[in-house]
Amino acid sequence: MMDAVADYFAEQIAAGPRARDGAERRRIRRHENVGIHGNLCSFRAHLGMAKPPVFDFACECGTLGCRERVLLTVDEYGTALEPHEPYVMLREHAGEGEAASLGATASLVG
């Protein structure tokens, strides 16, 4: 289904939007991930799945051009949507500072 949607919108996707800086990139990736998370939660509820599905969410680091993915369950990603809304990124992209581990390869930053 995702391939069909990507094919349908290929021209618009190629045309943009493009992030001008790291903060904008984070906002774009967060918006994409939140939409995917909502769909996965809906599928889970509709199918009555007890075990949360796993998905490779986009890394929400501020590095322009980053194409890395972060493999998390929908429940793990959901922790990023709690009140202070930290960003999800590969642990290697978190850098120095306060970061909490999430899943096997991710960190919550912010």
**Domain positions in the chain:** 19-109
Give pLDDT, residue 1.
67
Give pLDDT, residue 25.
93
pLDDT tens for the chain, 110 residues long, are: 667 888 898 898 888 778 899 999 999 999 999 999 999 999 999 999 999 999 999 999 999 999 999 999 999 999 888 777 788 888 888 876 677 888 888 887 87
The sign one gets for the Cα dihedral 37, 60, 55, 49 is: negative
Sole residue written with tokens 């790291």: 22
Give pLDDT, residue 17.
72
